[in-house]
Amino acid sequence: MTSSSPVLDPQIAAQTVSDRVRLSLDIIPQVAVVLGSGIKALEDLECLGSISYAEIPGFPEATVAGHAGVLSWGRLGAEGPAIMVARGRFHLYEGHGLSEALSLVELFHALGIENLILTNAAGGLRADWTPGDLMLIADHINLQGFQAGLPTSPSDPMLAATRYRAVETYHDAWRMRLKQAAMEANVPLREGIYVGLLGPSYETMAENHYLLTAGVDAVGMSTVPEASRAASYGLRVIAISCITNISITPRGAAETSHQEVVDVAKAASQNMEALLRAAVLTAPQSAGFVG
Ligand code: HPA
């Protein structure tokens, strides 16, 4: 935690948000979506309301270009399911500690939200993939905790999260339903392994080739802490990467800049929008849901 960071009390943050949500919605949504760098989607909601991260007690400031720092909510159509949408997240590479990076997950958990859809921009390691492709994360490799030197002490409350052994971080049954729905809607969807690196610099070519031999399909700088923490709390999680550059080819790697990442993510927004809607509609139901 940086010395100037506010301290998040999830219950207080949740109270502030739920008071605001109830001005426009009669229920707390059961599905939350986190939109990563440049990903524009789910802007057209019914009963729309929002709060900026700066207004949520204990939340850090969102500092990365392409991240708005706004939490909104509403319904997917007049009769559709209620959802909460976080535009912008907190990265370890911004200098945030693990607890700040997990602020959104702590808030969703305190609100009682049970389903979490994470999105991110990522570099692709498959030479036959194309910028703008979408990839469902089947599983991840965590090289962030190691790089960030976490946890810091045996009494660190975050130890529980890092000790959690992820058997099924990304909900199998939900993933299957989403793949089926994407196929039926003609939305191309890849599936693969994501590696979370600390960043903020992009990988070297040697690192890319090394990661490829380790079975990695996509490289990014987020998602792993959020997905792990949420799953350790029992939230059902799925995650979708927007492949913004093919970093395994020298040209693709040379062209990677944050602006390019944001631009490609924006261009892929139509497919991402369709996929996110399908993900919300295929989300597990709480009461009596089996599977
Ligand atoms: N590497 C790591 N993170 C990224 C990349 C990349 O090539 N593209 C978008 N996020």
- 5, 72, 232, 245: the active-site residue: 245
258 is catalytic: yes
Q: How far is the CA of 246 from the centre of ligand 1 (A)?
A: 9
Whether pTM exceeds 0.85: yes
Could you give the angle at the alpha carbon of 145 between the alpha carbons of 142 and 149, nearest 5°?
Answer: 150
- 221, 278, 279, 283: the active-site residue: 221
Contacts of 221 by beta carbon, 8 Å cutoff, 6+ apart: 91, 92, 93, 144, 196, 197, 198, 199, 200
Q: d(Cα 53, Cα 101) in Å, to the nearest integer?
A: 13
Least confident of 60-69, 144-153, 243-252: 144-153
Averaged pLDDT for residues 194-219: 94
Q: For tokens 């903020």, what's the residue?
A: 200
66 touches ligand 1 (CB under 6 Å): no
pLDDT at 252: 63
The answer to whether the beta carbons of residues 194 and 218 sit under 8 Å apart is yes
Q: How far is the CA of 82 from the centre of ligand 1 (A)?
A: 31
122 touches ligand 1 (CB under 6 Å): yes
121 is catalytic: yes
pLDDT higher than threshold 90 for residue 180: yes
194 touches ligand 1 (CB under 6 Å): no
pLDDT at 248: 86
Q: In sequence order, what are the beta bridge partners of 238? A: 117
- CA-nearest of 138, 164, 141 to 151 is 164
220 touches ligand 1 (CB under 6 Å): yes
Q: d(Cα 284, Cα 32) in Å, to the nearest integer?
A: 13
**Per-residue pLDDT tens for 5-14?**
568 899 999 9
- Nearest-CA residue for atom 2 of ligand 1: 220
- CA-nearest of 120, 109, 136 to 229 is 109
Q: d(Cα 269, Cα 121) in Å, to the nearest integer?
A: 11
The answer to whether the beta carbons of residues 71 and 51 sit under 8 Å apart is yes
Averaged pLDDT for residues 102-128: 95
Structure tokens, 234: 């029992």
Structure tokens, 184: 């039926």
pLDDT at 200: 87
Averaged pLDDT for residues 139-163: 63
pLDDT at 290: 42
Q: How far is the CA of 188 from the centre of ligand 1 (A)?
A: 21
Which is the closest atom of ligand 1 to the Cα of 247? Answer: 7
Q: d(Cα 166, Cα 187) in Å, to the nearest integer?
A: 29
pLDDT higher than threshold 90 for residue 273: yes
Averaged pLDDT for residues 220-244: 93
Dmax over CA atoms of the chain, in Å, equals 52
Could you give the angle at the alpha carbon of 186 between the alpha carbons of 185 and 192, nearest 5°?
Answer: 105
Residue 214 DSSP class: T
Q: d(Cα 138, Cα 77) in Å, to the nearest integer?
A: 29
Quickly state the pLDDT bin for 163 (edges 50, 70, 90).
low
pLDDT at 147: 47
Averaged pLDDT for residues 220-232: 91
Structure tokens, 177: 């339903």
183 is catalytic: no
pLDDT at 291: 38
Q: d(Cα 194, Cα 122) in Å, to the nearest integer?
A: 8
- Nearest-CA residue for atom 3 of ligand 1: 220
Q: Torsion angle of alpha carbons 29, 35, 39, 43, nearest 10°? A: 20
CB atoms < 10 A from the CB of 180, how many?
12
Least confident of 101-110, 116-125, 140-149: 140-149
Going along 88-206, which residue ranges are E strands? 115-124, 134-142, 190-196
- Nearest-CA residue for atom 7 of ligand 1: 123
Quickly state the pLDDT bin for 199 (edges 50, 70, 90).
confident
**Per-residue pLDDT tens for 237-252?**
999 999 999 988 776 6
